[in-house]
Amino acid sequence: MEVKEIWKERQKEIINDLDSLLKHIFVELPVSFRINTLKVDRDEMIKRLKSQGWKLKQVPFYKDGFILEEKKYAIGNTLEHFLGYIYKQEVASMIPPVVLNPKEDDIILDMAAAPGSKTTQIAQMMNNKGAIVANERYIQRMTSLRSNLQRLGVTNTIVTMMDGKWFKNLSIRFDKILLDAPCSGTGIIMKSPKTAKTWSVKTSEKMANLQKQLIASAINALKDDGVLVYSTCSLEPEEDEVVVDYAVKKFGMKVEKVKLTGFKTRKGITFWNNKELSKEVENCIRVYPQDNNTSGFFVARLVK
């Protein structure tokens, strides 16, 4: 399957290794997961899995994340997964909670939470302490969110169902917010090949309008000095740096540098569509499939 020529041309403006990207964008990703320390001891679980013949490689930036080096297990069908001892999760998806860096006494909002991969990871990093509000707008996605919270033993989380744009109207203010925003998904074409056919510039512009509304709501719901992590699985600047530039210029947000140990990332771009973006945006990170054999991702850590 081919991607659209216009998409190739756009990516060529951002990176100098387009051919490598095009080779990797349709390659099946390795199986990865995290050990759920809310239910099981990490070291004991590693021993248990290795005794069953699992060959594991630790995710470099997250101690509880692992890559299965030989794909001979359907992880979702294992007893360990059923019991909530492990959770299948793509490596790039583990980045936003790590960048958020939640603490045990934090009050946190996960604004677009379903199916709960990042929510349950945040709860794990908080040792089930503090409080998380896991919000999802669509009722059809609530089942997976609630099921995963229950299966993984999460007890510090309240589930809400509302449009994320309305959090700005509530009196509660959060220490930290994760906005893993709805997006066009061009970083995960390997998971959804139809995106290569259906994506258009208009799609990204439409998503960017929604993303700006959501990030504005998130900023208003954030305490002073609070942290907002904005992420997408899109490689499109309209949905990534341009949204962060909006948060910086409209609301005075600061963008902190993000560094992931042993994992290649690229700086955010500061010029797009004939417009200069804030230099702050350079502190965002772009994750490309060809760099670490993961999906494509964009992550920014903003401080109010």
Q: Which residues are catalytic?
A: 233
CA 175 to chain centre: 19
| Pick from 24, 9, 1: nearest CA to 264 | 24
CA-based torsion, 123, 241, 67, 79: positive or negative: positive
For the chain, the first-to-last Cα distance in angstroms comes to 43
Pairing of strands 275-276, 254-256: unpaired
The Cβ of residue 51 has, within 10 Å, a number of other Cβ atoms equal to 8
Number of H helices, E strands in the chain: 11, 15
| Pick from 184, 304, 285, 289: nearest CA to 234 | 184
> Is residue 201 classed as helix, strand or coil in its secondary structure?
helix
DSSP state of 166: G
Q: Which DSSP string corresponds to 55-124?
A: -EEE-TT-TTEEEESS----GGGSHHHHTTSEEE--GGGGHHHHHH---TT-EEEETT-TT-HHHHHHHH
> Is residue 40 classed as helix, strand or coil in its secondary structure?
coil
- Residue 23 CB-half CA count within 13 A: 7
